[in-house]
């Protein structure tokens, strides 16, 4: 039996990178997926690719920082597939400035897209997940939600917020059999990090701080999310799954 047979998942940030990998993997494991992204063309492409592979997906353009957009996403999920079992709060944007360099406007935008979106996603999906007797919420943070490096002030703050908010929500909704966990990727090869991989000095540094003999791929994160979404993890909530090739182990 497929690991997500009969389940419905909402996956944000599904126009590229980790979101695409998660959506394709979940669909291959039997889930029906609502795929969302601010990039309408990209997320429609994801849905078409899933359909061509024999899966079931419905795309939506979605600004994850907006409450009204979240209401539409959840309503559409019910209209299209009748339920919600799983939420992956995957969407996010980077910022590589330190506290002095960061502007208030940039700070607010990063918090809105990266952490307010997690609050809104949980707020509007929890009632529907409760109706089906429980499920799984997976909030994608970062190793930078656990450790710090120079710069990245707004980004680190947003990812740290996700980490602790996840634990609070896990305690709040355990009685409803809703598991809430966070994933903390290292540097994964996506469009968001392609400039880091393109810079030889930075790439060598990344290889040096990663004990595993390769760097991360979107599929590495997707398989971690699959475990947390499946019934194999029904005693895991409020936890942090670090997927970083051993980076923060030292």
d(CA 111, CA 96): 14
Given 124, 144, 152, 155, the catalytic residue: 155
SS3 205: helix
The angle formed by the CA atoms of residues 179, 26 and 156, to the nearest 5 degrees, is 60
Question: Do residues 216 and 189 lie in contact, with contact meaning Cβ atoms separated by under 8 Å?
Answer: yes
d(CA 31, CA 55): 8
Instruction: Report CA torsion sign: 189, 190, 191, 192.
Output: negative
**Cβ contacts of 185 within 8 Å, gap of 6 or more:** 18, 140, 142, 143, 216, 220, 221, 243, 244
Q: Is 223 known to be catalytic? A: no
Question: Do residues 199 and 234 lie in contact, with contact meaning Cβ atoms separated by under 8 Å?
Answer: no
CA count, 13 A, side-chain hemisphere, 102: 22
d(CA 87, CA 79): 16
Show which residues are catalytic: 155
């Amino acid at each position: 039996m497929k690991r997500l047979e009969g389940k419905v998942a909402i996956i944000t940030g599904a126009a590229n990178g980790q979101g695409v990998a998660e959506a394709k993997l979940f669909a291959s494991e039997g889930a029906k997926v609502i795929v969302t992204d601010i990039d309408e063309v990209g997320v429609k492409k994801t849905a078409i690719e899933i359909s061509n592979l024999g899966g079931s997906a419905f795309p939506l353009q979605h600004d994850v920082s907006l409450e009204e957009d979240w209401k539409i996403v959840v309503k559409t999920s019910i209209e299209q597939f009748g339920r919600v079992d799983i939420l992956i709060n995957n969407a996010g944007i980077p910022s590589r400035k330190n506290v002095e360099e960061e502007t208030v406007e940039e700070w607010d935008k990063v918090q809105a897209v990266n952490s307010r979106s997690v609050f809104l996603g949980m707020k509007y999906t929890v009632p529907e997940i409760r109706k089906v007797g429980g499920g799984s919420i997976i909030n994608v943070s970062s190793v930078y939600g656990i450790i710090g490096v120079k710069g990245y002030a707004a980004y680190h703050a947003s990812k740290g917020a996700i980490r602790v908010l996840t634990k609070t929500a896990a305690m709040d909704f355990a009685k409803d059999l809703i598991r809430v966990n966070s994933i903390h990727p290292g540097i994964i090869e996506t469009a968001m990090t392609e400039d880091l991989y393109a810079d030889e000095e930075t790439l060598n540094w990344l290889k040096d701080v990663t004990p595993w003999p390769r760097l991360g791929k979107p599929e590495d994160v997707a398989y971690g999310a699959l475990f947390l979404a499946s019934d194999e993890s029904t005693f895991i909530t409020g936890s942090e799954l670090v997927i970083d090739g051993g980076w923060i182990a030292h």
